A and B are shown apart, each in its own frame.
Chain A
Amino acid sequence: AQTVTQSQPEMSVQEAETVTLSCTYDTSESDYYLFWYKQPPSRQMILVIRQEAYKQQNATENRFSVNFQKAAKSFSLKISDSQLGDAAMYFCAYRRSSNTGKLIFGQGTTLQVKP
């Protein structure tokens, strides 16, 4: 069975600095999708960034980028120029590439941004 692990329950970063959130996963599949979701206090689940496993190039969305290491089964999220609005819970998630939308989530990392 696939599993996703986020080993950092809490992280903090100074405003305008860079922080990296870690995620590892386990799967025997060769093709799959990986996601980072943001959950602010409003509880809304917001997609931050996604990566398709067959693409070697790391995904980037503005200040958010990932470091995808397929062989190591690692998928970290880097947030550059951190802003107060980035404070939230962040979830790493895995989805098989087949016709299913079932997501497997990590435990979550709470990010605090200090002014």
Chain B
Amino acid sequence: NAGVTQTPKFQVLKTGQSMTLQCAQDMNHNSMYWYRQDPGMGLRLIYYSASEGTTDKGEVPNGYNVSRLNKREFSLRLESAAPSQTSVYFCASWDRGWSEAFFGQGTRLTVV
């Protein structure tokens, strides 16, 4: 089982460029999440999808959009990248109840 797969692992963007971070899980989980990790701030929730066909804002949604393409895939889009979006991005999936969340390996994004 691959678990949660994110692409790409690294990316450098120029200010104003757009890009999409891809995430796919093969565990048949209903819920998927996007977090960003910044020094001294831990991981913060950007957007999540509790089930296929639904998406909701998290703590820091400004500047991002998401698409739950199907049950497996949940993408994060930056329409016009800003230096403040330089961060490490994590995708996660979760089933229910007591189960743990599973994380992808992260994407290090630098906006110059």
Contact A101 B98, CB 8 Å, known A43-B106, A45-B103: no
The total of chain B residues at the interface (CB under 8 A) is 27
Residues of A within 8 A of B31 (CB): 100-101
Q: How large is the interface on A (under 10, 10 to 19, 20 to 34, 35 or more residues)?
A: 20 to 34
Selected contact of B45 from candidates A9, A33, A91, A103, CB within 8 Å: A103
10 further A-B contacts with Cβ under 8 Å, apart from A45-B106, A101-B31, A102-B33, are: A4-B42, A9-B40, A44-B106, A45-B92, A47-B100, A101-B33, A101-B93, A103-B33, A105-B42, A107-B41
Q: B1 to nearest A CB, angstroms? A: 15
A→B interface (CB under 8 Å) = 4, 6, 9, 33, 35, 42-45, 47, 50, 52, 91, 99-108
Instruction: Offer 20 A-B interface pairs, CB within 8 angstroms, sorted by A.
Output: A4-B42, A35-B100, A43-B108, A44-B103, A44-B106, A45-B92, A52-B98, A99-B50, A99-B96, A100-B31, A101-B48, A101-B93, A102-B33, A103-B45, A105-B43, A105-B44, A107-B40, A107-B41, A107-B42, A108-B40
Chain A residue nearest in CB terms to B99 = A101
For the complex, what is the distance from the CA of A6 to the CA of B100, rounded to whole Å?
Answer: 21
Main SS class of interface, A: loop
For the complex, what is the distance from the CA of A34 to the CA of B50, rounded to whole Å?
Answer: 20
Cβ-defined contact, B88 with A50, below 8 A:
no
Q: At the interface, yes or no: B112 with Cβ under 8 Å from chain A?
A: no
